[in-house]
Amino acid sequence: MGFVDLLNLFKLPVYALPAVPFALTCVASVALFPLSAHAQGQPTPDATNMDSFVSSLLGKMTLEEKIGQLNLLATGFDVTGPAPSKNVEESVRKGMAGGVFNLYTPSATRKLQDLAITHTRLHIPLLFGYDVIHGHKTTFPIPLGLSCAWNPDLIEKCARIAAIEASADGVNWPFSPMVDIARDPRWGRIAEGAGEDPYLGSLIAKAMVRGYQGDDLARPDSILACVKHFALYGAVEAGRDYNPAEMSRITMYQFYFPPYKAAVEAGAATVMASFNEVDSVPATGNHWLLTDVLRNQWGFHGFVVSDYTAINEMTQHGLGPAERCAEIALKAGLDMDMVSEAYIKYLKKLVSEKKIGEDLIDTACRRVLEAKFKLGLFADPYRGCAPERAEREILTPLNRTFAREAAQRSFVLLKNEQNALPLKRSGAIALIGPLAESRRDLLGSWSAAGNWKLAVNVLDALKESAGPNVKILPARGANLSDDAELLETLNASGAAIVRDPRPPAELIDEAVAVAGKADFVVAVMGESFAMSGEAASRSEIGLPESQLALLKALEKTGKPIVLVLMNGRPMTLGWESAHCAAILETWFGGLEAGHAIADVLFGDYNPSGRLTTTFPRDVGQIPLYYDHKSTGRPYLGNARVKYVSRYLDIANTPLYPFGFGLSYTSFAYSPVKLSHKTLNAAETLTASVEVSNTGQREGEETAQLYITDPVASVTRSVEDLRGFQKITLKPGEKREVKFQITSEDLKFYNSDLVYDWEPGEFIIRIGPDSSQLNSATVRWNKSGAR
């Protein structure tokens, strides 16, 4: 009798099959074919019978087994929180884990999956989570950079590639997309999101969910999206990580909730609660947030996981001992406990003391089992994951080519005086700065399984691309920072910053001498990757002093300076913007960033990125964002007028506004034309402009549509992004860009949190960024509603 026949005979689940080699090599004893309650009479997991399959399974589970499914343990190759979990294998063997994270590769995940399947009574497979934030092994630009492509299709494709690679490596649950709106660049995690705008943020959130989950979660290359961090994590006070977030409900609904909601509507299977409090209750234990809003208002059906040790952290927030926090969290609607092990420790006791009903545990467990079912884990717990597949599907040349394109599209040209860029392929370039030869930094703060040793740094990429007529003269010029304490702190968390021991003045002198021999200077500067991301808030967001001093010395040489920035947040660049000939913002561009930077510097790619976060002039202006409200005393430009809303020492305006970005060509916009002067509710308005390429090269423009609602029952933003279109124009070419606008685009949350629009005048604005807009006014009546 063959092995498969044996399985059939005992009606074992199909997923017992791949476990066999392991089981056979282990001990013939065990559980090789435990005629478990689950195996006997359990419906087969075909896509149509999730309810009966999960109900039948739940019916066989003990209370401990159900609680086990709610426990998520940290183990493996990365440590992304205070400490990893202990005794993970033993917990898995005992059925005390529903999933593990920070572990990948077919062999490592298979080893644990084998344990779960062969050693536990009901053979329930594990989930494998991992922070696949901007690619798995093919690392794409950090999310903030990617968002600057204003291109949901491109971002969806990055997420799809990440899903293919991660699933081939045994991961079935990326902790992504991170969709927190952020208006404060001091917060290091601004790097992980899509910027400050809810409209664009929502499009990107949906694109990422589609990319991860594909059209069918059961496909072996689909993975469960995890929308995080719900909610308001991007609004932590003073930009300090983990701090409370304090805001009105109307602001939550209008500005901060939309991307989470959009991701839920796109079918995201899981949500992660945020560390911060919301409305004076930590999100982890916030019933209003996790149940009333997420499930009852938005119809979310998946499961909610806590963030790393967040249930236990509720004690520090002031909610009492861990046992009480576990009770609050479960009752709030928090299904899975990441690392706290509070559910494992206390839920059984809480049930026996009748503080919680077992039905709450059933509900949470059902949600976790349903996610596993949808993933197809009950049919194949390995999801086709094998070393050959990993070899074939990870880091393919095509994926790397796409990463290069994504990086090119994420860069934003902030300044380009007298066409300093693109560089000519002749003469001598002084390549200066502490990041010019860095490979590690290119990958960014959360590069998951990315291997920086595969990256090509800017120096090598420029040499590769320059051709025989260009001399590249490198000099470091400065250390990343002269703050020894900062460097030590960063290195303690893995930044691997190498310090040149020479005195700062000696480094600068050397760089100035090198610049003297060159036609122009390319200065590659910014932050270490470890200066943004989690637990990396900064109170000053300019270039570190060592680098600014170098830049000032270089400027005295009179050579034009092209500043290439790498950083994970908007920076204050007052001096730089006044004195550098060109500034190219490249964020942390991922595995192919070096090549992409060379492509843009030499003009093989014409930059097209647009900012998705405002660049302030100074930290004192923060929070500074484009969709702010007016005051009753707005500043209208006359500095002698007192009693208006302004600073005495700095302009109100940003240095670089939301939506801004230059190209190697230039574009002009005609006035806005509207199809109607007055509309009824059901009618569609067409707003159009003619965009012309007025420069010498082909280029891509992002025409942006904003709407202002000047009179409403609640105060509205000065303008809200409501659409954009990307068009490519040849030199001299013109194109009409049309936006179709309906009353849906006018909706907002009123004081009763009702989402609707109010009739009246609206200003329709179109232009290249949020601060340069042509406008026309229309009247929209409520009569004739659909």
Residues making contact with ligand BGC (CB under 6 A): 80-81, 131, 175, 228, 307-308, 534
Does residue 337 carry a catalytic annotation? no
Angle at 142 between CA 139 and CA 148, to 5 degrees: 120
Q: How far is the CB of 191 from ligand BGC (least distance, A)?
A: 12
523: DSSP letter: E
Cβ-in-10-Å burial (0-12, 13-18, 19+) of 654 comes to buried
Q: How far is the CB of 351 from ligand BGC (least distance, A)?
A: 28
**For residues 393 and 534, which CB has a smaller minimum distance to ligand BGC in the complex?**
534
572: DSSP letter: -
How far apart are the C-alpha atoms of 701 and 461, rounded to whole Å? 27
Q: Nearest-CA neighbor of 163 among 330, 474, 383, 476? A: 383
Q: How far, in whole angstroms, is CA 675 from its chain's centroid? A: 38
**For residues 15 and 175, which CB has a smaller minimum distance to ligand BGC in the complex?**
175
**Secondary structure (3-state) at 684:** coil
What is the phi/psi pair of residue 72, to 5°? -120, 125
Q: How far is the CB of 226 from ligand BGC (least distance, A)?
A: 8
Q: How far is the CB of 228 from ligand BGC (least distance, A)?
A: 6
**For residues 80 and 291, which CB has a smaller minimum distance to ligand BGC in the complex?**
80
Bridge-based pairing state of the strands 427-432 and 470-475: parallel
**For residues 229 and 439, which CB has a smaller minimum distance to ligand BGC in the complex?**
229
Q: How far is the CB of 249 from ligand BGC (least distance, A)?
A: 24
Token pair listed for 159:
């997420």
Element spanning 273, H or E: strand 270-273
Element spanning 68, H or E: helix 63-69
Query: What residue is closest to ligand BGC based on CB?
Result: 80
How far apart are the C-alpha atoms of 713 and 715, rounded to whole Å? 7
DSSP string, 702-717: EEEEEEE--S-SS--B
**For residues 131 and 599, which CB has a smaller minimum distance to ligand BGC in the complex?**
131
Token pair listed for 70:
């709610």
Helices 258-265 and 198-213, packing angle to 10 deg: 30
Q: How far is the CB of 241 from ligand BGC (least distance, A)?
A: 9
**For residues 181 and 766, which CB has a smaller minimum distance to ligand BGC in the complex?**
181
**For residues 70 and 470, which CB has a smaller minimum distance to ligand BGC in the complex?**
70
**For residues 131 and 197, which CB has a smaller minimum distance to ligand BGC in the complex?**
131
How far apart are the C-alpha atoms of 632 and 715, rounded to whole Å? 11
Q: How far is the CB of 139 from ligand BGC (least distance, A)?
A: 17
How far apart are the C-alpha atoms of 587 and 600, rounded to whole Å? 14
Q: Nearest-CA neighbor of 431 among 464, 477, 467? A: 477
Q: How far is the CB of 454 from ligand BGC (least distance, A)?
A: 23
Element spanning 578, H or E: helix 574-579
How far apart are the C-alpha atoms of 325 and 314, rounded to whole Å? 6
What is the phi/psi pair of residue 49, to 5°? -120, 40
Quick count: other Cβ atoms within 10 Å of Cβ 554?
A: 27
Quick count: other Cβ atoms within 10 Å of Cβ 299?
A: 10
- Catalytic entry in 180, 197, 307, 599: 307
Active site residues per annotation: 307
